[in-house]
Structure 1
């Protein structure tokens, strides 16, 4: 027994020494390639620094100023290229897409497989099913639904305009965008704008309250990527057990619930949406309908060689996971973009006047003009907002200065490859430093990139100079939908009102980086126009 204990101890020591040796070799990754890297700590890499800074992406921007447009960091032990060189990014996102087909998994072992986090054949299957929802023809059909939700918010904003008081408009944007995504994507009339205490809305909000970067399971998976799948299984397993107890035990005996991850809470309680749609078939073609048309009870087989349409099926769990993703993304990113847009309009009355001049030229009838020409429309739609070059420049400038979902603009290497003469091994991460790209004077001059100037978008730029929605085949699937929703809202708002800065516009703006990069509040005043 004594000798066995000695052998076991020596084996453990040997494994520990070997592991330390492997880490030392891994930490030579960038040195062997001649790539600069900031000082880092053994085992933690650069994560101790990145966990403790207010903004992950602003820290990357600071390092870019010191180390250049291509440098390396270690997320734990995982080598990560931080890139703001547009030619390098074009190789990664477009020309070598097959070598960089996926993002890094936040936590492995999740049951929440969807179009955002899937990779390879699984991603192609999800994307093929969902893509038709966001065609131009479908977006035109959604215009009345979008306008219906905007009418609700306009009625609420009217009270503030009449009272002449300052208020936080961001709150109304959040409710409206959730209302829009529920109606347009899933055919659900939530009446959210009149019922902001809706439990599903609250749970989606919770997803964005805290940054996943502060989660201990997430941090552990970063430090031990070899165990990320197991760590994820444990993490999601704990939450699934809590959900089972809440649904089947505590719901019968108590009003209290065990804490659950918001996404898991939603995953276990969104089944009625699918069941209701099955009971009441519809001719509407939305995201949910397209997914349900290919729903199967059989487990999907993602054969890389099989690209036939017959293989493009989704199981019920995948449909629910996609519902969660679209609820969250359609709600938070669009409302945040509108918040930034309103902030800049309040600060730049000359820009507001130019947009209003363009709006006044649109073929829209007055609200009380029932006898207007058939070609004149009461509310803007897809075709009308597509006729607004200055509005397009304005929205583009908002998203250039305030990129929102920067974490999504990254890729993971699927195979060993070479980019711009640099050898990159399988499993390496490529993280885009979007702030450095969007504020690069070489890409966005001659005007100062830190000045809000919509006209800069009249000049053709490098295809990788503008990345708020990512780039390449994995560019945000809902990009056009979000832009149309934003523009219709802005047309209707600015057609009736001027936006003035509230007294607390600056003091309560306070940009915070959590799941997305968003302000806390946007305090403005609405003044009716004299048109």
Structure 2
């Protein structure tokens, strides 16, 4: 008889052989479909190449030039269609949305479920609760709050104007947008502009500067997605123990506190934001209030059966997770778009003049107005009716698609798109750079040239994707646009923007996790209007 050790060895060999045969089968996915794919490594797929590239989107753009508008890559063993064909994307993002309602929930755990990471019925529940926050009526009510934050940043800029010195305006944008999202969405007066050492702001900045995609932890989860949920839960548990020790056992001012990941630090402290709002009732209707109106301590089952209605409620953890994601999105994407907008204004004086000419025609406040006249500053109604401003901002977002890595969908079921069979679990990634710089979609002017007037021509509905497309487009799109336009109106009404000496050499654009410059150095000159 065979010994037990030999039997166990044979079982292990059999399991390993089966695993590698399964991998081999995975890596034949695109060849079976006759879809081109760049050379790849067994087990890693295309990840080794992607890890060594300056950014995933730029590598995809390079491959698109070689392999066409529809090709495949393997992120580990996960097949991913990389697509710059607008008709194919319209099928995925719009016409067959029911089969592609989710994204990659990379850090998959029960704790991180929000309107961005959830899918299917869970996503619909979150979206239903949050949608009213960004209605036109709510945005009009937020205009004075936005203007208040912008007034603070305008006061901070005066010193640079007086000293006639160049400075990095991106720093001020980041502080302002953090104040705006916290004040408008959560009723928090963070006042980061006066207190840049605010811990929430520091942790958000730390999170965006962490370069998590280059860590061994991140790479492991990409290569072995099957163990993703388990590993994330283990790491979350360890971090929760550290948070408990820091919050309960160590003084808040202690320098000996245990290290917590910035994302988990924010998650663990945002509970106090909810408690504070619950203890202090308010008449304001912001994002946090809408979520608290449907808070529940019961477990939510998103599987609707027997014709019962969907339970549009949120758990405390889901509310915390939504606060977290809106804090990040409202801070980073808006400030970065403003930074690129300022960069292009400094580079293109003719565009600068056209925008100022439009602004000068608006019924706005003047220097001799009192605080009671704040309502006469640009509001929702005013900035929503500025045709050249619309063209300008659209061109900024075309050339600098901030969140291009989020424009993706995961198939929740087997389906067929333009004759191509797509299996459940497969990703479809929109190659936004190739789309936004496609001569056929954006000509006849060179797409590499900043030319706002190109947006006067009607384009393919999937040619412009800075906010995604279809039912799952960015929920905060209108809020972000209104905030940016109000800031630009007030800045250009009072000042002209000139390029600083370091405008170009300190821009240093990076793309992890989102497209962003290092700095935007400009000079502001007081206008004599």
Could you tell me the TM-score, scaled by structure 2's length? 0.97
Higher mean C-alpha deviation, range 109-118 or range 378-387: 109-118
Q: How does 1:49-68 map to 2 (within 5 A)?
A: 49-68=49-68
Q: How many angstroms apart in 2 are the aligned matches of 1:435 and 1:304?
A: 39
Match of 1:133 in 2: 133
After superposition, the Cα gap between the structure-2 partners of 1:427 and 1:194, relative to the gap in structure 1 and judged at 3 Å, is same
- Of the three residues 473, 476, 480, the one matched with 2:474 is 476
Q: For 2:137 and 2:6, how far apart are their aligned partners in 1?
A: 73
Q: d(CA) in 2 for partners of 1:377 and 1:283?
A: 20
Counterpart position of 1:95: 95
Report the aligned-residue RMSD: 1.8
Residues of 2 paired with 1:146 and 1:253: CA distance? 32
Q: Distance in 2 between matches of 1:68 and 1:163?
A: 52
Secondary structure at 1:366's aligned position in 2?
coil
The Cα of 1:40 is off from its aligned counterpart by: 0.3
Task: Work out whether residues 217 and 232 of structure 1, in 8 Å CA contact, stay in contact via their aligned partners in 2.
Answer: no
Deviations 1:403-461 (A, max 9, x none): 01112111111000000110000000111110000000010000000000000000000
Rounded to whole Å, the distance in 1 between the matches of 2:297 and 2:370 is: 51
| 1:166-185 alignment runs, 5 A limit | 166-185=166-185
1:509 paired residue number = 507
The Cα of 1:56 is off from its aligned counterpart by: 1.2
* C-alpha distance in 1 between matches for 2:110 and 2:319: 14
1:277 maps to 2:277: yes
Q: Is the deviation greater in 108-117 or in 26-35?
A: 108-117
Q: Is the 8 A contact 1:393 1:455 kept in 2?
A: yes
The corresponding residue for 1:394 is 392
3-state SS of 2:522 partner: strand
Q: Does 1:443 align with 2:438?
A: no
Aligned partner of 1:109 in structure 2 is 109
> Is the 2:161–2:524 Cα contact (8 Å) retained in structure 1?
yes
Show the counterpart of 2:432: 434
1:305 deviates by: 4.3
> What is aligned with 1:523?
521
CA 1:309 to 1:148, structure 2 compared with 1: closer, same or farther past 3 Å? Answer: farther
Structure 1 residue ranges without an equivalent (≥5): none
Map of 1:463 onto structure 2: 461
Q: Is the 8 A contact 1:217 1:235 kept in 2?
A: no
The answer to whether the 8 A contact 2:181-2:331 is kept is yes
Q: Which residue of 2 aligns with 1:262?
A: 262
TM-aligned CA distance change 1:336 to 1:502, over 3 Å:
same
Distance (whole Å) between structure 2 residues aligned to residue 309 and residue 421 of structure 1: 36
How many angstroms does 1:310 deviate by? 6.7
The alpha-carbon distance between structure 1 residues 103 and 70, as it changes in their structure 2 partners (threshold 3 A), is: same
Alignment of 1:355-394 (within 5 A): 355-369=355-369, 378-394=376-392
Give 1:2 shift. Answer: 6.8
- Aligned residue in 1 for 2:219: 219
Could you tell me which residue of structure 2 aligns to residue 75 of structure 1? 75
1:150 match:
150
Number of aligned positions between the proteins: 529
- Alpha carbons 2:302, 2:310 under 8 Å: kept: no
Question: How has the CA–CA distance of structure 1 residues 199 and 309 changed in structure 2, closer, same or farther, with 3 Å as cutoff?
Answer: farther
| Contact kept? 1:108, 1:231, Cα under 8 Å | no
Question: Which residue matches 1:418?
Answer: 416
CA distance in 1, matches of 2:527, 2:483: 22
Please report how far the alpha carbon of residue 107 of structure 1 lies from its aligned counterpart in structure 2 after TM superposition. 2.2
1:378, distance to aligned residue in structure 2 (A): 3.2
Using the size of structure 1 for normalisation, the TM-score is: 0.97
Kept in 1, the 8 Å contact 2:296–2:316? The answer is: yes
Q: How far did residue 74 of structure 1 move?
A: 0.3
Query: Which residue is equivalent to 2:452?
Result: 454
Match of 2:161 in 1: 161
Contact (CA 8 Å) 2:246, 2:258: kept in 1 or not? yes
